[in-house]
Amino acid sequence: MNGGGDVRPSLGVVVPVYNEAATIERSCRRVVEVMEGYEGRSAVIAVDDGSADRSASILALLAGELDLLDFVRRPANGGYGAALRSGAERAAELGLDYVAFIDSDLTNPPEDLLKIGALARQGADYIKGSRFIRGGDMDAVPTSRSVFTKTGNLVGRTLFGTSIRDVTNGFRGVRTELFLSWPLKETGFAVIVEEMGWALRSGIEIAEFPTVLSARADDQRSTAFTYSPQTFISYLRYPMRTFRGRIRRALVGRRD
**For residue 181, what is the domain's CATH number?**
3.90.550.10
* Cβ-based burial of 27 (10 A; exposed 0-12, middle 13-18, buried ≥19): buried
105 domain residue, yes or no = yes
| Per-residue pLDDT at 4 | 43
6 domain residue, yes or no = no
Q: Structural domain of residue 153, as residue ranges?
A: 11-255
Q: Could you report the per-residue pLDDT of 149-163, keeping only the tens digit for each? A: 899 899 999 999 999
On whether the pTM is more than 0.75, the answer is yes
How large is the angle between the packed helices 24-35 and 55-65, nearest 10 degrees? 30
Q: Could you report the per-residue pLDDT of 113-151, keeping only the tens digit for each? A: 999 999 999 999 999 999 999 999 999 998 888 888 899
| Per-residue pLDDT at 144 | 83
Q: How far apart are CA 77 and CA 18, in angstroms?
A: 8
1 domain residue, yes or no = no
124 domain residue, yes or no = yes
pLDDT at 59 over 50: yes
User: Which of 75-79, 88-92, 245-249 comes out lowest in average pLDDT?
Assistant: 245-249
168 domain residue, yes or no = yes
Q: Could you report the per-residue pLDDT of 12-55, keeping only the tens digit for each? A: 999 999 999 999 999 999 999 999 999 999 999 999 999 999 99
109 domain residue, yes or no = yes
210 domain residue, yes or no = yes
223 domain residue, yes or no = yes
* Cβ-based burial of 249 (10 A; exposed 0-12, middle 13-18, buried ≥19): exposed
Cβ-proximal residues to 52 (8 Å cutoff; 6+ apart), any chain? 19
Domain tally, the chain? 1
